[in-house]
Structure 1
Amino acid sequence: MTIKEKINKFISEKKITHAEIGRGLNTSQQNVSRILGESGKVSLDFVVWLACEYPEIDLEKLIRDSDHVSIVRESPATYQKPRLKEKALEEIGAVLDKYM
């Protein structure tokens, strides 16, 4: 499964609309639909925002090319709200260092 497929599955299961994502990213629903559509590309900013908004997302499961279809952590996240973005970036960096 690709990163985009995993994200689409997650937002579908959580019943998150493209409009809600657009408001969070300060963009339009149409732009979110384009990004998550067939030819769109998911940016790092999008992934960081998603991980900050939904700390139950396991970034390693999202980024790693594996058979995992769920990107939800097996145990509850223990993030502290003020450091979410920094923590997400640290996790992305660690995963990329490990697999790239």
Structure 2
Amino acid sequence: MKKILLGLALASGCLMAADGAEIFKKCIACHGAKAERVAPGSKGGVTIAGMDKTRIVEQLKGYEAGTADNGGAKAIMYANMKNFKLTEADMEAVADYISKLPPVK
């Protein structure tokens, strides 16, 4: 019985884990399906595909706090972070997903 309960607990934890690919679907309009597009108004023509996970999390937290500034689209990101209501686990998951996408050359 204990093994069954432990198995159910582990399975439910896996189901509750954040899915970075699913979360990223909210970002496709500006960043592209594979994060290959330069977001509107961003500085330096940078795409986020393959970007360092830690950097992405920092940026997401900055947008959530209203302090990140990568160009003219910051107001869009500020609003999106308020609307999406990402948890820290969500931010980690989507950052992990984006960091593993092939960088644009």
Q: TM-score, normalised by structure 1?
A: 0.35
Task: Give 1 or 2 for the bigger CA radius of gyration.
Answer: 2
Q: Which has the higher contact order (CA 8 A, sep 6+)?
A: 2
